[in-house]
Amino acid sequence: MKAIEIKEVSASFGENEVLKDINLSLDVGTFLGIMGPNGGGKTTLLKIILGLIKPDKGEVKVLGRIPEQNRDKIGYVPQYSDFDSEFPISVKEVVLMGRLGQTGWRSNFSKRDYEIVHESLKQVEMLKLKDKKMSDLSGGQHQRVLIARALATEPEILILDEPTASVDKKVKSNIYEVLKEMNEKGKTILISTHDTSVIYSKMDSLACLNKKLIFHGKEDIPLEVFEEAYGAPVSLLSEKHQHHIYEDKNNSIED
């Protein structure tokens, strides 16, 4: 059974076609990075896999079933936090929210629920801060808590939408190390990212998405594929250095 199967999926918002004829088949245990420009359809594709958006056409299967039937098997870390920074909620309480799909809103949390929260925080190295308020955390710590919340659902598949967009280089590296360790333990991970510096060192598969998707698996992606996806020149250093440079039309950004 495949972790995810997508066949001929297209999606539009009004007259704006966002995805066109997307095909993707992922084995269980894959660590896939999805790259592409802003507005290229990455978030839309992830939400279709989650069952939050229905495509105009095509078929999506998650672990052999339609997404709505297996949503409890997917952990999701959104691109933007939905927490009010002034709301007095602790790290532990946020991660406990990941157990609501198992307990329901009116149920009491069990000893097992707290054990899962403890282990989830331990995996992202946030256990010592479990009683801290979310408003007191740094950007990187905040992201780790959101990953822990997703892990608390005990997912078979973990989906993350630009999880390191607002953190510094050191924290970014630490987050990817955590994700790599999870993947090595068998968890399937999909992540949308602009972080070209970690593609070859952390992920075993890569896809480029800009309305259409080009999946390269474990192969090196030719330079022209990046240029077509981003619509701008891209220069890549060798895989040996595991370091990449993206140059857009107005400036140059080096990771």
Task: Give the per-residue pLDDT at 32.
Answer: 92
What is the pLDDT averaged over residues 242-254?
35
Contact 223, 205 (CB under 8 A): no
How confident is the model over 185-236, as pLDDT tens digits? 889 999 998 776 666 667 888 888 999 998 766 656 666 666 666 655 554 4
| Cα dist from 61 to 48, 49, 67, 106, 111, whole Å | 10, 8, 6, 31, 33
Domain residues for the domain of 18 are 4-254
How confident is the model over 2-40, as pLDDT tens digits? 999 999 999 999 889 999 999 999 999 999 989 888 888
Q: Per the structure, how many domains does the chain have?
A: 1
- Going by pLDDT thresholds of 50, 70 and 90, the confidence category of residue 248 is very low
- Going by pLDDT thresholds of 50, 70 and 90, the confidence category of residue 161 is very high
Q: What is the CATH number of the domain that holds 187?
A: 3.40.50.300
Query: Is pLDDT larger for residue 48 or for residue 235?
Result: 48
How do beta strands 188-192 and 252-254 pair? unpaired
Q: What is the pTM of this model?
A: 0.81
Q: Which two tokens stand for residue 44?
A: 């839309």
How confident is the model over 136-149, as pLDDT tens digits? 988 888 888 988 99
